[in-house]
């Protein structure tokens, strides 16, 4: 996954070759740092890659092709005219990507634009400036700003420990430097010191100049959490022998992804959704501590558990021990003989000895999915002999939504989020909200992921305020609305409904509309014409024909 | 019938943007409630007070992935006070049955609405005068017509996406059957045939930052109404003026809720009456409305929805304005039960055709209830 991406030009970066350069920050494993050069002279051929792998690895980059649309949006403001999306695809040569040929011309246009001085200004200090910056810092040891620039240059050069030390020194001189805190956080992040990284970003957030900067930091913190979970999963596997003997944390439950087995690919994401439901519900039971779904998912991904493996008690127990959970919930959704029929199975497995502590099973029509989930849930709790207070029982009976389609969209959103495709996740959550505006989990996830969408493509210099935002509205990514619980949705659905309601209004739909949860204006407009009152002039508020006793038929022949 | 379209159509009765084959209606529900609205007028107006108590009820249901229908009616009681006396008219309104079907895989919806004349289309002249006192487009009575005969309205709506914009177009044609409007002995033989009505709407919306901007324009045109019988030996004609409606709204997340800012303008051209020689009925009017409404969650199951609005009325002669505000509470009693109580207060003025000013004081209270029935599929 590309977590940092920027576009500058050879001219802007001081290079004379007039080639368009796309510096790529890093992939998810921190193994790739380099620059993609696009030569306008060979605009019909593929771009070539130049760069060095990050010090931690000698392997080529893994660049995911699924980031095309997001990348396109990132690029789009830089081009004079909007164009089709960039398609990133893996190139046959290691570590090389190519951009669809049709975009080469547009990229070349970007070079010309930059040559005219209209391109983005240079970003933070470049690695080649390090010697000069070191000399300057020695001459001005009390200059926090120069020190920060040196730290940034170290960072850009991949010298993260040096960057960390210099940036910390800069903050000792002046603690109120937003950019320095950001780069220090980034340096810590590169060094896998996630707590320190978080502290750096939190400090930066407090110094942010506007809500947008705060949103960007919040978004980056979301990404940091994901990376931390992935790192923790790797660490857990690496330390499996130690963790296997460590005692589990009592009453700590890990719910593993529910497996779907059936022929309908549309229902495949239900596994994610049901996992979310189980965790949400079990978390309402006071005596249980639930691990975050993302934490479990990170381990599952890292272990690359097979679909079958996830429901194997032994594998589950092993995974549970790695997470230091005392119990593991595993489950599956199976398609019945009739495609509308599904069966839900779940089991609670002891992470200590892989013994099955409880099982639950229920089958019914697909539209009864939420009832099935509740039935299985209560069965598991009953077998575990966990007493429930009336309040807990009431809370457990609550359903997230009554709309199965909304829940499916939500499940698809979770799936997209898990694979790091935040834009797709956001679209799915919005789709779920469009169907059911009361679907709070979808609203919450949409708010969170909205921050991540932009954060995933913000280059460090922009995040730190060193480089200007590059979109048409002065920002690096679609503005997040992420401070609250409401996410405004837009789509064909609302506009379609608006069309139907305004051309064929009916009492039932109007009434339902008034009482449905509203995220939008509430106003009464003139309705369908009342023919006779209008023809007789009785609809005039200034002279209504009330109690006059005669009807003035104004339609008689003159 | 119930006063109808609301800009809020953008957000509820929700459909998904992703695929049109998902139903327009997300879940079946029964809705109903009670609403009271009253306007008191200053001295020397043709009424001291006009009020209405309405109890609407509706049922809406999706069937499968493509089909949905709704049915609704209302019972309304209208009272007019003047000179220490009052007169009341109460009856059911017409019942409207509407069905919608999503065609193909694109965002195309075919709908048909049938207006069943369960309301009292035939009334005495006295009752007609009372019932038509709530027909104004300017005032906000919940029910503006008790009955207008049988009618059928087929229509099509389509939506597509163009870049960041969602674009929609919709149209409908309403055919009305003739009806007997009056029951009094002198006019009981009058038959009234409303003309054909055509509506066309274009709309667009897009996200602007985290907000949604919506634009819409609706045009309505009408055939000629004809009256026969009674004292109208040669018949009578009335050609309604065309109607234009434009609306713009911006919905933005604010804190834990959302705010909506909207303006809309309704313009009706003069109608014409007569047979071989037509003359203007001088009943053009323009209503401009601007307002802001919000939705803020104040507790887990409680949403506060304040609204502030002003509307300016410019008829052919005279004018008027209303400034009002109020709030609804949306209470999620359970997963399936939503209760919405609310109240609103308006102040304003009406200058009658003679140029005399009359103050207007209005207030309303409502309690609506929705019972969800599940997805229905």
Q: Which residues 100-119 of B are in CB contact (within 8 Å) with A?
A: 100, 107, 109, 111-113
* Class of domain A239-399 (CATH, top level): alpha beta
Query: Which chain B residue shows the shortest CA-CA distance from A523?
Result: B6
| CB nearest A495 (choices: B26, B166, B234) | B166
Q: Are A191 and A164 in contact (CB under 8 A)?
A: yes
Q: Where in the sequence is the domain holding B301, given as residue range(s)?
A: 7-374
pLDDT above 90: residue B154: yes
Q: Quote the number of domains for chain B.
A: 1
Q: Are A406 and A439 in contact (CB under 8 A)?
A: yes
Q: Which residues 358-377 of B are in CB contact (within 8 Å) with A?
A: 368-370, 372, 374-375, 377
Q: How far apart are the C-alpha atoms of B41 and A453, rounded to whole Å?
A: 55
Q: Does A552 touch chain B (CB under 8 A)?
A: no
Query: Which chain B residue shows the shortest CA-CA distance from A473?
Result: B209
pLDDT given for residue A234 in this prediction: 81
Tally Cβ neighbours within 10 Å of residue A215: 24
Report residue A125 CA to chain centroid gap.
30
Question: Model confidence over B249-280: pLDDT tens digits?
Answer: 998 877 767 889 999 999 999 998 876 666 77
Contact B255 A484 (CB under 8 A): yes
Half-sphere exposure at residue A72, Cβ-oriented, CA atoms within 13 angstroms: 20
Contact A517 B305 (CB under 8 A): no
Q: Report mean pLDDT in 10-residue bins for chain A, 558 residues.
A: 29 31 36 34 31 34 28 28 30 33 35 33 66 84 86 89 90 88 92 90 86 83 85 79 77 86 84 90 86 80 57 72 84 80 88 85 87 91 88 87 89 89 86 84 85 76 69 31 45 77 87 72 80 83 54 40
| CB nearest A500 (choices: B139, B157, B328) | B157
Q: Are A549 and B266 in contact (CB under 8 A)?
A: no
- The average pLDDT across B169-191 equals 86
Q: Percentage of chain B surpassing pLDDT 70?
A: 88
The two most distant CA atoms of chain B are separated, in Å, by 66
Q: How far apart are the C-alpha atoms of B139 and A9, rounded to whole Å?
A: 62
Question: Model confidence over A349-358: pLDDT tens digits?
Answer: 888 888 888 8
ipTM reported for the complex surpasses 0.85 = yes
Q: Is residue B149 part of a domain?
A: yes
- Residue corresponding to tokens 């005969």: B149
pLDDT above 70: residue B158: yes
Q: Structural domain boundaries of chain A?
A: 8-115, 127-207, 239-399, 407-515
- Contact list in B for residue A212 (CB cut-off 8 A) is none
Q: How confident is the model at residue B177 (pLDDT cuts 50, 70, 90)?
A: very high
The number of C-beta contacts closer than 8 angstroms across A and B is 512
| CB nearest B253 (choices: A481, A544, A551) | A481
Query: Which chain B residue shows the shortest CA-CA distance from A83?
Result: B163
In sequence order, what are the beta bridge partners of B267? B244, B286
Q: Are B158 and B132 in contact (CB under 8 A)?
A: no
Rounded to two decimals, the pTM is 0.55
pLDDT given for residue B307 in this prediction: 94
- The average pLDDT across B134-161 equals 90
Q: How far apart are the C-alpha atoms of B73 and A356, rounded to whole Å?
A: 57
The four Cα atoms A141, A142, A147, A149 give a dihedral, to 10 degrees, of: -120
For residue B33, give the 3-state DSSP assignment. Answer: strand
Tally Cβ neighbours within 10 Å of residue B109: 25
- Contact list in A for residue B336 (CB cut-off 8 A) is 402
- The average pLDDT across B185-214 equals 86
What CATH number matches the domain at A127-207, 1.25.40.10, 3.40.190.10, 3.40.50.300, 2.60.40.420? 1.25.40.10
Say which residues have a Cβ less than 8 Å from residue A270's Cβ, sequence separation at least 6. A258, A260, A333, A369, A408, A411
Nearest Cα to B132, choosing from A506, A525, A535? A535
Q: How confident is the model at residue B366 (pLDDT cuts 50, 70, 90)?
A: very high
**DSSP characters for B116-153?**
E--S--SB-HHHHHHHGGG--SSS--SB--S----EEE
Q: Does B97 touch chain A (CB under 8 A)?
A: yes
**DSSP characters for B223-266?**
--EEEEETTEEEEEEEEPPPEEEEEEEEEEEETTEEEEEEEEEE
- Residue corresponding to tokens 């009693």: B333
């Amino acid at each position: 996954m590309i977590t940092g991406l920027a576009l500058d030009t050879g001219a802007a970066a001081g290079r004379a070759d007039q080639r368009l350069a796309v510096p790529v920050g890093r992939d998810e494993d921190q193994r790739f740092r380099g620059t993609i050069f696009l030569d306008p002279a060979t605009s019909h051929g593929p771009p070539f890659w130049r760069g060095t792998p990050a010090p931690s690895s000698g392997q080529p980059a893994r660049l995911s092709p699924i980031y095309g649309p997001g990348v396109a949006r990132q690029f789009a403001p830089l081009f004079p005219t909007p164009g089709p999306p960039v398609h990133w695809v893996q190139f046959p040569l290691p570590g090389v990507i190519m951009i669809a040929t049709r975009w080469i011309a547009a990229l070349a246009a970007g070079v010309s634009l930059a040559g005219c001085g209209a391109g983005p200004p240079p970003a933070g200090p470049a690695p080649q400036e390090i010697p000069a910056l070191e000399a300057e810092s020695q001459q001005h040891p009390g200059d926090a700003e120069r020190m920060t620039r040196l730290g940034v240059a170290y960072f850009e050069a991949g010298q993260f420990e040096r960057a960390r030390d210099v940036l910390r020194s800069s903050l000792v001189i002046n603690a109120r430097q937003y950019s320095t805190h950001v780069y220090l956080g980034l340096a810590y992040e590169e060094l896998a010191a996630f707590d320190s990284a978080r502290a750096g970003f939190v400090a930066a957030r407090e110094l942010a100049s506007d809500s947008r900067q705060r949103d960007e930091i919040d978004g980056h913190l979301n990404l940091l959490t994901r990376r931390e979970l992935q790192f923790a999963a790797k660490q857990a596997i690496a330390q499996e022998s130690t963790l296997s003997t460590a005692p589990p944390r009592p009453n700590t439950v890990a719910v593993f992804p529910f497996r779907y087995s059936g022929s309908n690919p549309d229902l495949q994401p239900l596994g994610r959704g049901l996992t979310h439901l189980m965790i949400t519900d079990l978390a309402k039971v006071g005596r249980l501590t639930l691990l975050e779904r993302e934490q479990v998912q990170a381990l599952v991904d890292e272990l690359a558990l097979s679909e079958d493996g996830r429901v194997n008690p032994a594998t589950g127990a092993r995974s549970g021990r790695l997470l230091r959970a005392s119990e593991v919930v595993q489950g599956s959704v199976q398609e019945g003989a009739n495609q509308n029929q599904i069966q839900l199975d779940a089991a609670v497995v002891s992470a200590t000895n892989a013994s099955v502590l409880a099982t639950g099973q229920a089958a019914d029509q697909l539209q009864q999915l939420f009832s099935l989930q509740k039935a299985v849930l209560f069965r598991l709790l009953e077998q575990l002999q966990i007493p429930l207070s009336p309040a807990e029982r009431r809370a457990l009976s609550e359903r997230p939504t009554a709309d199965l389609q909304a829940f499916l969209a939500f499940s698809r959103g979770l799936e997209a989020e898990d694979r790091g495709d935040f834009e797709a996740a956001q679209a799915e959550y919005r789709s779920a909200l469009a169907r059911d505006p009361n679907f709070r989990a979808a609203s919450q996830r949409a708010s969170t992921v909205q921050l991540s969408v932009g954060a995933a493509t913000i280059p460090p210099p922009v995040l730190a305020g060193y480089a200007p935002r590059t979109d048409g509205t002065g920002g690096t990514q679609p503005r997040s609305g992420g401070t609250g619980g409401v996410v405004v949705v837009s789509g064909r659905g609302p506009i379609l409904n608006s069309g139907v309601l305004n051309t064929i209004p009916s009492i039932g739909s109007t009434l339902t509309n008034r009482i449905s949860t509203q995220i939008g204006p509430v106003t009464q407009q003139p309705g369908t014409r009342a023919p006779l009152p209008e023809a007789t002039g009785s609809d005039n508020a200034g002279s209504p024909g009330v109690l006059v006793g005669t009807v003035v038929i104004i339609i008689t022949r003159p | 019938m119930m006063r109808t379209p609301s800009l809020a159509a953008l957000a509820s009765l929700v459909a998904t943007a992703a695929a049109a084959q998902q139903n327009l209606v997300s879940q079946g529900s029964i809705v109903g409630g009670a609403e009271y609205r009253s306007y008191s007028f200053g001295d020397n107006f043709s009424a001291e007070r006009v009020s209405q108590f309405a109890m609407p009820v509706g049922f809406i249901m999706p069937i499968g992935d493509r089909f949905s229908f709704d049915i609704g009616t209302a019972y309304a009681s209208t009272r007019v006070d003047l000179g220490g006396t009052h007169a009341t008219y109460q009856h059911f309104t017409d019942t409207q049955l509407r069905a919608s079907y999503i065609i193909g895989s694109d965002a195309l919806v075919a709908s048909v609405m049938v207006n069943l004349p369960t309301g009292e289309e035939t009334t005495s002249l006295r009752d007609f005068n009372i019932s038509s006192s709530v027909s104004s487009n300017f005032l906000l009575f919940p029910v503006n017509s008790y009955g207008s005969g049988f009618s059928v309205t087929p229509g099509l709506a389509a939506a597509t996406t163009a870049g960041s914009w969602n674009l929609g177009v919709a149209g409908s044609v309403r055919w009305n059957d003739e009806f007997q409007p009056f029951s009094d002995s002198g006019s009981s033989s009058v038959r009234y045939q409303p003309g054909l009505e055509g509506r066309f709407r274009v709309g667009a919306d897009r996200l602007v930052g985290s907000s949604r901007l919506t634009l819409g324009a609706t045009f309505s045109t009408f055939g000629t109404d004809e009256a026969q019988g009674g004292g109208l030996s040669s018949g009578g004609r009335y050609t309604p003026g065309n109607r234009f409606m434009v609306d713009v709204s911006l919905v933005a997340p604010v804190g834990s809720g959302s705010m909506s800012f909207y303006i809309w303008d309704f313009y009706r051209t003069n109608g014409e009456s007569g047979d071989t020689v037509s003359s203007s009925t001088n009943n053009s009017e323009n209503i401009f409305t601007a307002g802001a409404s919000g939705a803020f969650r104040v507790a887990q199951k409680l949403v506060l929805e304040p609204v502030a609005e002003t509307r300016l009325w410019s008829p052919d002669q005279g004018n008027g304005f209303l400034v009002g505000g109020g709030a609804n509470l949306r209470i999620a009693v359970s997963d399936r039960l939503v209760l919405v109580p609310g109240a609103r207060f308006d102040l304003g003025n009406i200058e009658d055709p003679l140029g005399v000013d009359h103050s207007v004081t209005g207030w309303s209270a409502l309690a609506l209830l929705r019972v969800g029935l599940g997805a229905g599929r």
